[in-house]
Structure 1
Amino acid sequence: MDVRRLRLLLELSRLGSMHEVAAELGTTTSAVSQGIAALAREVHTPLVEPDGRRVRLTPAGHRLAEHAVTILAAVEAARLDLDPAAEPVGVLRVAGFATAIRRSLLPAMDDLAQTHPGIEVRVHEYEPLEAFDLLARDDVDLALTYDYNLAPLSWRSDHEVAELWSVDWGLGVPARERRAPFASYADRDWIVNSRNTADEEVLRTLASMAGFTPRIVHRIDALELVDDLIVAGRGIGLLPRGPASRRGVRVLPLTDPRVTMRAYAVTRRGRDRWPPLRAVLDRLAVPT
């Protein structure tokens, strides 16, 4: 059914006269009559019947007019939802890693709650490859991912990628230890990520350059648990520089080569024009 003809029928049910409908919509009585007749042919049933010199809706016409209220409201809602100039409204699904959620997404959500309360952000914690799979299946609208300069991600042709921020990584060891050549850690037990192989790839690259193969003993997802194992003397691993994760851990700098983790916001190409997604992307602040 042509929704423009549904609008004619709905106005006729309200105004009761094709002449008044024509005046209301800025068209001719003939155009209104032809539109109603065409709609009747589309639904294979009469929608109006003579009533003296006027017409009135048949029972089927009244039923269809009732449906038209819901249909036209849904069409208008869809138009506003997709209008870049409209107030953003909708559910935005985000898959990302914990640090980016804390550092970039949560501040954006706080701002959106004040400026665009019609946007509902749903957060799912996933590692990059998991997030990319969800993005490809349209199960999420935005992926917050990361890579390392020594283990870069391969982007798909349909990805739109914006770098958010970067942070240097170093070697996490017990706080009592001091910096030493990387080769001196050849006999230590190592901790790597359990759900993403990127930091293991970086570790193996560094170890290869230093002339050894790391003995990987623990595979841990949570950085807090990595800290606990380091403090307990159960291993060492790569950690972000900056404020120590917790007392008892020292993160030694790595400079030759330097190790940098880079965070990204990734969407499907062309999807960033959807107002709720655009509003979130505009607010993914780059922390200083």
Structure 2
Amino acid sequence: MDTRRLRFLLELSRHGSMRAVADVLGTTTSTVSQQMAVLAREAGAPLLEPDGRRVRLTPAGRRLAEHAVTILAAVEAARADLDPHAEPAGTVRVAGFATAVRRSVLPAAARLAVEHPQVELRISEYEPHEAFAALLADDVDLALTYDYDFAPANADPAVTMSPLWTSRWSLAVPAADAAAERGEDTLAVFAAFHDHGWIVNSRNSADEDVVRRLASMAGFTPRVTHRADSLELVEDLIATGPAPAVGLLPADRQTKPGVALLPLAAPEVRQRAFACTRRGREVWPPLALVLGLLVR
């Protein structure tokens, strides 16, 4: 198969219309249509089917598009091997949670703009399970995810996970309720707030899994009263919410007045961040460059 035709197929899987593919690749819609017809004959299976006034990929077309990513990445890697001084170029689609975007992606983007201007980042904010699903669907090239040591994510053999960082988390409580000395025994700290409402993440279950697991070890079932994705909103609910509530926050966070952080050291609660790629695709030079910046 001609790799140029695979590029047409891959772009069609990403953009959904022949006109969009023609715009991206600088050609005409008739050329796109002709190349797709030739590719279907080469593949020995229909790759497109009508979808109203547009077209969509058949199951065979979707499978071939998945292979096209790996094939084209291998071709790029081969070219880079033959010309090690070649400048990486291309668009890398990144999906990740807000903290990872701020902490890792934006500094990397700033370096790319200066040192590798031909590599472009397209950034989407997603919670870990959303980013992971987008990665498996080939909607993004790189997914930034997290889990907790008390609620580890399930490994997927199709994905390579590169560790980024680990951070300690604390229990955030109303400042007025934080005066009593409890030490850093995590279960004792949890037990002391068993009658408070508990705040968990509204879009990701890992935080709730940690809360419920530690509460169970401390001998109670937490009463979840609020669900919030924003850490700022978690603070607001603790400081000025309708009833006393507590929740997990990063241990190094500078909280607003009215919120106190209680250490959790025995056992610690650690959040672990990862950069995830489809296995084998990390050799594509633009993606390898971005991944290297993030991991470093």
Identify whether the pair has TM-score above 0.5, normalized to the shorter chain.
yes
SS, match of residue 294 in structure 2: coil
Partners of 1:163 and 1:190 lie apart in 2 by 29
The offset of 1:155, in angstroms, is: 1.2
Match of 1:265 in 2: 275
Provide the TM-score with structure 1 as the length reference.
0.69
Is 1:189 equivalent to 2:212 in the alignment?
no
Per-residue deviation at 1:247?
Answer: 3.3
Tell me what 1:151 maps to.
Answer: 151
Shifted more, 163-172 versus 83-92: the winner is 83-92
Equivalent-residue separation in structure 2 for 1:199 and 1:280 (angstroms): 28
* Aligned twin of 1:25: none
Q: How does 1:1-288 map to 2 (within 5 A)?
A: 83-84=79-80, 85=84, 86-176=86-176, 177-178=178-179, 179-180=181-182, 181=188, 182-233=190-241, 234=243, 235-284=245-294
Number of equivalenced pairs: 212
Question: Deviations along 1:41-88, whole A, 9 cap, x unmatched?
Answer: xxxxxxxxxxxxxxxxxxxxxxxxxxxxxxxxxxxxx96686333311
CA distance 1:223–1:82, change in 2 (3 Å)? farther
Bigger-Rg structure (1/2): 1
Decide whether the 8 Å contact of 1:93 with 1:141 is kept in 2: yes
Query: What is the CA–CA distance in structure 2 between the aligned matches of 1:129 and 1:95, rounded to whole Å?
Result: 11
Contact 2:163 2:295 in 1 (8 A): no
Residues 72-122 of structure 1 show CA distances to partners (whole Å, capped at 9, x for unaligned) of xxxxxx966863333111111001001111111111111000011011101
TM-score by length of 2: 0.68
CA deviation profile, 1:240-277 (whole Å, cap 9, x unmatched): 10132333321111122210000000000111111110
Whether the aligned pair in 1 keeps the contact of 2:194 and 2:220 (CA below 8 Å) is: yes
In structure 1, runs of 5+ residues without a counterpart are 4-77
SS at match of 2:150: coil
The SS at the match of 2:199 is: strand
One-letter amino acid of the structure 1 residue matched with residue 87 of structure 2: E
The answer to whether the 8 A contact 1:81-1:90 is kept is no
Aligned twin of 1:72: none
Give the percent of matched residue pairs that are identical in Structure 1 and Structure 2.
55
Contact 2:89 2:286 in 1 (8 A): yes
Mapped to 1, the partners of 2:129 and 2:253 lie a distance apart of 28
Mapped partners of 1:137, 1:166: distance in 2: 27
- Closer/same/farther in 2, CA of residues 243 and 196 from structure 1, 3 Å limit: closer
Q: Distance in 1 between matches of 2:194 and 2:171?
A: 13
Going from structure 1 to structure 2, the CA distance change for 1:232 and 1:279 (only over 3 Å counts) comes to same
Tell me the distance in 1 between the aligned counterparts of 2:93 and 2:274.
16
Let me know the Cα RMSD of the aligned residues. 2.1
Q: Is the 8 A contact 1:171 1:237 kept in 2?
A: yes
Runs of 4+ deviating beyond 6 Å: none
